[in-house]
Amino acid sequence: MAKRKSSIDIIRLHNAVFYAYHGVLSDEQTLGGKFEVDVDLHCDLSKGAKSDSLKQTVDYERVYDCIKGLVLGKKYFLIEALANTIADGLLKNFKLVKRVVVRVRKPSAPVKGVIDHVEVEIGRGR
């Protein structure tokens, strides 16, 4: 019998918003600001889709709680470092996830000019 290929599906969490204290400038570290996070979790969701059981998929409430703990748990100078920490934490805590893409946005980035936000995107896999 031929072996079935595994599926690659995606669970996305968009625009999780946190007030945190990341940045290079001292005002950013003391006054804080808003940070927005998106994650794409690449995994095989076929078992959960067939069984309709939360135990056989990735619980996105737990994913949100993990992201929240990582965003609020430590101050970072760079959103690149924050995004990397989130990616590593999600891969460590959610074994079904094969690849993760993390986007961190900083709407109030201190730039001498007019921009909507600064965003970093990091992809990691196992």
Band (115; pLDDT cuts 50, 70, 90)? confident
Q: What pLDDT is attached to residue 3? A: 58
Q: What pLDDT is attached to residue 5? A: 66
Band (38; pLDDT cuts 50, 70, 90)? very high
Domain boundaries, the chain: 9-125
| This prediction's pTM | 0.92
| From 74, 92, 106, 112, the catalytic residue | 106
Compute the Cα dihedral for 116, 22, 67, 124 and give only its sign.
Answer: positive
How far is 90 from 70, CA to CA, in rounded Å?
Answer: 10
> CATH: 3.30.1130.10, 2.40.160.50, 3.30.70.260, 3.30.56.10. Which one for 9-125?
3.30.1130.10
How far is 113 from 115, CA to CA, in rounded Å?
Answer: 6
How far is 84 from 103, CA to CA, in rounded Å?
Answer: 10
Q: Which of 118, 111, 108, 121 is nearest to 19 (CA)?
A: 108
Q: What pLDDT is attached to residue 110? A: 83
Q: Catalytic residue at 106?
A: yes
Residue 30 has pLDDT above 80, yes or no: yes
More confident residue, 78 or 4: 78
**What's the chain's average pLDDT?**
94
Q: What pLDDT is attached to residue 73? A: 97
Q: What is the pLDDT of residues 41-79, one digit of tens each?
A: 999 999 999 999 999 999 999 999 999 999 999 999 999
Compute the Cα dihedral for 53, 56, 59, 60 and give only its sign.
Answer: negative
